[in-house]
Amino acid sequence: MTDLCLWLSGLRGVPEDDLGAVLPRYWGRGRAERLTAASSLEVAGRLLGFAGLLPAAALLAESEGIATEGHWVIALEPVAFRGQAGRAVLQPLPGLEEAAAAALFTSAVEHMADTPWILRRGARRWYVLAADTPDLHCPDPEQVWGREPLALQATGADARRWNAFLNELQMLLAAHPVNQDVDASDQEPWCLFWAWGEGRLPSVRPVPKWRTVAAEADYLQAAARWLGLPLSYPKALQAAIKLPDDLLWVWSGAWLYPDAAKSFAALVPALPSLWRRGGRLECLTGVLASGDIERLTLRRADRWRFWRRPARPGHALPGVW
């Protein structure tokens, strides 16, 4: 097949007729469905052939050479609280220089040696491995960055046990001489983490429908590599007249409706080649406030539906993955 899937992961609302021209017009011509999706990681998992949530932490760990076979994995993303419009919101922190990072990690491993959790260090984040599968669910970063985290806590039967481990780890790091020196120099200490991406890799690698992936997010690139899928680069595709077959193209970012319409309009010159080859276009929104997404499916024949009354955005019927 020669299909194309555009996942507008940062588009948090359905395009309206009075904002932009091209994207709302296409949305009105195709078949729109509502799909259940609790998070971006669930959408990514469904698109890439996984049974549910994408095990992003395990995929990232594997991409950094950390063996995860037989283990459940969760990522620890270093974060800081920043002031924004009178609120304290979470923002990611960059990695530390090697000597400081190694000192913090060595202390953490020694202190936590008697716990069932196994610590591993990556280039800019840490990972926690477990032999069992804890009942623990954490919001992914796209739900967290720039928001107040109080309502976005870990849930599940093992959340209390996990929070006790994480709090002890963070207090240990806060008191470490490395972070004391950082704090004294008015920089952000490396002692707060946001846990996310929990899961374990399946024993059998999925076979996704999409055969090429174009995405900027590191966890999606890690997933493509683990699945053996070639990667394309979004900037190169934006000027392409012919797109790769069966392409999953993730358009991330904080989308506003006019911006989405302009970006979609730039893609239109590549669509005739898709239609000639009998291809199909799928567009997916990000996770909407209703807790689901909308998927538009547009085939060649749908271009000639101009004589029909377009379907209004937001009036999609329930669908299945």
Looking at the structure, do residues 71 and 191 belong to the same domain, yes or no? yes
| Domain end marker among 165, 199, 233 | 199
Looking at the structure, do residues 147 and 169 belong to the same domain, yes or no? yes
Looking at the structure, do residues 119 and 61 belong to the same domain, yes or no? yes
Confidence band for 307, pLDDT divided at 50, 70 and 90: very low
What pLDDT shows up at residue 29?
A: 75
The domain in which residue 186 lies consists of 56-199
Looking at the structure, do residues 85 and 174 belong to the same domain, yes or no? yes
pLDDT tens for residues 74-92? 999 999 877 665 666 788 8
How far are the Cα atoms of 8, 134, 229, 255, 274 from residue 13, in angstroms, in the given order? Answer: 10, 34, 30, 9, 26
* N-to-C CA span, the chain: 18
How far are the Cα atoms of 65, 72, 95, 147 from residue 225, in angstroms, in the given order? Answer: 12, 19, 23, 31
pLDDT tens for residues 206-262? 999 999 999 999 999 999 999 999 999 877 787 777 888 999 999 887 777 777 777
Looking at the structure, do residues 74 and 191 belong to the same domain, yes or no? yes
Q: Provide the number of structural domains found in the chain.
A: 2
Looking at the structure, do residues 264 and 159 belong to the same domain, yes or no? no
What pLDDT shows up at residue 19?
A: 56
Nearest to 20 by CA among 265, 253, 255, 249: 265
Q: What is the mean pLDDT of residues 177-188?
A: 86
What SS3 class is residue 194?
strand
Looking at the structure, do residues 65 and 185 belong to the same domain, yes or no? yes
| Domain end marker among 178, 199, 220 | 199
Instruction: Say if residue 4 is exposed, middle or buried (CB neighbours under 10 Å; 0-12, 13-18, 19+).
Output: buried
∠ CA 234-320-245 to the nearest 5 degrees? Answer: 30
Q: Give all strands (DSSP E) within 13-105, no chain letters.
A: 31-36, 72-84, 87-92
The answer on pLDDT for 288 being more than 70 is yes
Looking at the structure, do residues 73 and 155 belong to the same domain, yes or no? yes
Looking at the structure, do residues 61 and 39 belong to the same domain, yes or no? no
What pLDDT shows up at residue 256?
A: 72
Looking at the structure, do residues 35 and 63 belong to the same domain, yes or no? no
pLDDT tens for residues 260-282? 777 777 777 788 888 888 889 99
CA 123 and chain centroid, separation:
19
Which strand ranges, in their side-by-side order, compose the sheet holding 31-36?
A: 231-232, 212-214, 247-250, 4-7, 281-284, 292-298, 31-36, 317-318
| Domain end marker among 199, 216, 247 | 199
Range from 187-196, 293-302, 308-317 carrying the lowest mean pLDDT: 308-317
